Amino acid sequence: NYPTNVKLVEVGPRDGLQNEKITLSVKDKVAFIDALSNTGIKHIEAGSFVSPRWVPQMANSQEVFTSINKHIDLTYSALVPNLIGAQAAVDANVNEIAIFSAASETFSKKNTNCSIDESIAKFVPVLTLAKLHNIPVRGYVSCAFGCPYEGKVDPSLVLSLSENMLAMGCYEISLGDTIGVGTPKSVYRLLATVLSRVEKSKIALHMHDTYGQALANVLIGLQEGLTTFDAAVAGLGGCPYAKGSSGNLATEDLVYMLQHMGINTGIDLHVLTTIGDKICKTLNRKNQSKAANTLLNL
């Protein structure tokens, strides 16, 4: 018994572009996001307000957010690490803010220059500001299935971080497989721990596809009752501070699987594949989506 509808969060414009060698111009990003807005996707993570010294690829997010053609029924979210980022997100009129912590002290330090506890402390004013402006906040727990520096992570830490961020006011937690090391068995195990205390409607999966396991891992999520999944068109993605990280699950592959399982996504796969094709050409990179490669005869 699979769900009849699922929510997909397209992270291509943020996760997908933050690790690319070239920084896309505002014009190219706006064209990319505007095209995604016409696919039926309802949630787009369109950029991040992080330090431009840390992630120069996202430095033009402010202009991107104010230049896109926002559809009234779509959510355009921005990733932020602290109050400076949250204020910039509010100024850019984002519909949603995403905050991110990690289940690994080493990764937290490498990615945000602070400990896990310090990162949580930085989120307090972010949530206060978001509440003031009625902006929903989503939380990520990175390295939920493994860390590039520490290896195994403690599932009980993933659970406590998730509970903590929900208690602080996040409406949903996306469990991030930052380096794509999860397998169906480890996903099943982690979900058993997390879902023992957290309602399944509040948990999403954010799988990177380093070892080709992302779709299988999502299937476990579906079987455990999850209905929200992150993906990036053409399988773009990666974190500059996670050694060995690679692309996200390709949205096209996920949409193909769901549609053929009779699960409604509301997304036009054909339109989506043409967008993935175009952005890959702009970035001069190979399309990582198997479905897109087949459908486009690449």
Which listed residue (143, 147, 170, 239) is catalytic? 239
* Triad 37, 266, 279: Cα angle to 5°: 40
3-state secondary structure of 287: coil
Q: Please work out the total of residues on this chain that contact Mg ion, with binding judged by CB under 5 A.
A: 1
Draw the binding track, 78-117, toward ligand HMG (x: CB under 6 A; -: no contact): -x-xx-xx--------------x----------xxx----
Work out how close the CB of 298 gets to ligand HMG at its nearest, in angstroms, rounded to a whole number: 26
Nearer to ligand HMG, 161 or 269 (CB): 161
Nearer to Mg ion, 15 or 277 (CB): 15
The yes or no reply on residue 45 touching Mg ion (CB under 5 A) is: no
Contact 79/112 with Cβ under 8 angstroms? no
Going from the C-alpha of 163 to that of each of 170, 193, 257, the distances in angstroms are 9, 12, 31
CA nearest 173: which of 148, 124, 151, 206?
206
Q: Pick out residues in 56-85 that bind ligand HMG (CB under 6 A).
A: 79, 81-82, 84-85
Work out how close the CB of 177 gets to ligand HMG at its nearest, in angstroms, rounded to a whole number: 6
Draw the binding track, 249-288, toward ligand HMG (x: CB under 6 A; -: no contact): ----------------------------------------
User: Active site includes 147?
Assistant: no
Of 10, 15, 177, 252, the residue at the interface with Mg ion (CB under 5 A) is 15
3-state secondary structure of 296: coil
Of 50, 97, 103, 279, the residue at the interface with ligand HMG (CB under 6 A) is 50
Q: Please work out the total of residues on this chain that contact ligand HMG, with binding judged by CB under 6 A.
A: 25
What phi and psi values does residue 10 have, to the nearest 5 degrees?
Answer: -85, 115
What phi and psi values does residue 80 have, to the nearest 5 degrees?
Answer: -135, 145
Going from the C-alpha of 228 to that of each of 53, 82, 204, 233, 279, the distances in angstroms are 32, 25, 5, 16, 24
* Intra-chain end-to-end CA distance of the chain, in Å: 35
Q: Pick out residues in 190-209 that bind ligand HMG (CB under 6 A).
A: 206, 208
DSSP secondary structure letter of residue 8: E
DSSP secondary structure letter of residue 42: -
Residue 293 contact, options Mg ion, ligand HMG, none, Cβ 5-8 Å cut-off depending on partner type:
none
Buried b (16+ CB within 10 A) or exposed e, 245-272: bbbbbbbbbbbbbbeeeebebebebeeb
Of 65, 76, 140, 256, the residue at the interface with ligand HMG (CB under 6 A) is 140
The yes or no reply on residue 49 touching ligand HMG (CB under 6 A) is: yes
User: What residues act catalytically?
Assistant: 239
Contacts with Mg ion by CB under 5 A lie at 15
Contacts with ligand HMG by CB under 6 A lie at 15, 18, 48-51, 54-55, 79, 81-82, 84-85, 100, 111-113, 140, 142, 176, 178, 206, 208, 239, 241
